[in-house]
Structure 1
Amino acid sequence: MGLMDRLFSVVFGGGRNVIAETAEVFRVNSDKFDDRAFHVQSAAMAQYGAEYAHARQGWFDRFVDGINRIPRPAMALGTLGLLVAAMVDPVWFASRMQGIALVPEPLWWLLGAIVSFYFGARHQAKGQDFQRSIAQTMARVPEVVENLETLSATQATTPGVAKTGHDAALTLAAIDPRGNAALADWKRLRA
């Protein structure tokens, strides 16, 4: 027993775990990583909470909040408006598109960068939510399969719901009232 105590004190001595400490050199400690991520997320949420803790009462704050809500609906409604304009007055629409054709390429790159930065974060967040929901759905597949097997095992086995498969003779025998003793007894009692 003394040898084992000395061996364990060398490996795990002084309240340390040499094996775990060595493994952490090659692989991140999941618990500590999750703890750090939790504190980072908590700090970010606290910062956001502090930003919106006081009511914005000034006219400038309300004005800027209103402006921040304009771009997405304006772009969506503007695009729909262009489609309607193309159908209502094609010549007017074509003349406007000729003007857009004269916009220099660097300006298109700048517009693309602005739009992609504006919508990119939202797209990424929605994409991650979608991936998370797919993963949750896929994680429930074994449970659903098990439930389906349980339900199919509990199906009624009465002649009214006999499973005859693709056997036509068996199907006809299942629905043929002749030779059914229970039905004959019932008819005899009714007569």
Structure 2
Amino acid sequence: MGLISRLLGIGDAAQTVGSAVETVAEVFTVNKTKEELAIRAQAMASLGQYGAEFSNTNDGWFNSFINGINRLPRPIMALGTVGLFAFAMADPDGFSTRMQGLAYVPDPLWWLLGAVVSFYFGARELHYSRGATTPMIIPSVAANEPSAPTKVSAAAFPENAALSEWAALKSQAG
């Protein structure tokens, strides 16, 4: 293959054209290999984060106990909702009586319950979001950030009246 390309004299030129076509093609279509590698990297990062959440940190028995209790409310609420449906099907009269009793609960008490539940889950979310690490700024991405706006003169747009007017207003304001 190297002999034929040297005889025809198109080896380097063909490679240059091929790489240029590949680069242009990636502008219009996604490179499937790179996309799959990115998806795999994201999945592995998610699995790593999930594993870190459940890893044994040796915090002590009390912290382990509290973390165990903190994981109970969501499953209890989900199973409790399913239990309400089962109770409603098993004993409709008893369920109806209890729901009528809930109708007598005053609104401020419902608001208090909503506030307690909201603050509980909100505080948990805040605790975990504060502990999360912020992603590093990649130098190549930081280099692509736009620079400070430059001064534009109206003379830069002689054939476009709207842009000339805009540039004049910008120079007066700044």
Higher relative contact order (CA 8 A, sep 6+): 2
Specify which structure has the higher proportion of helix. Answer: 1
Into which bin does the TM-score normalised by the smaller protein fall?
0.3 to 0.5
- Give the TM-score normalised by structure 1: 0.41
- Give the TM-score normalised by structure 2: 0.44
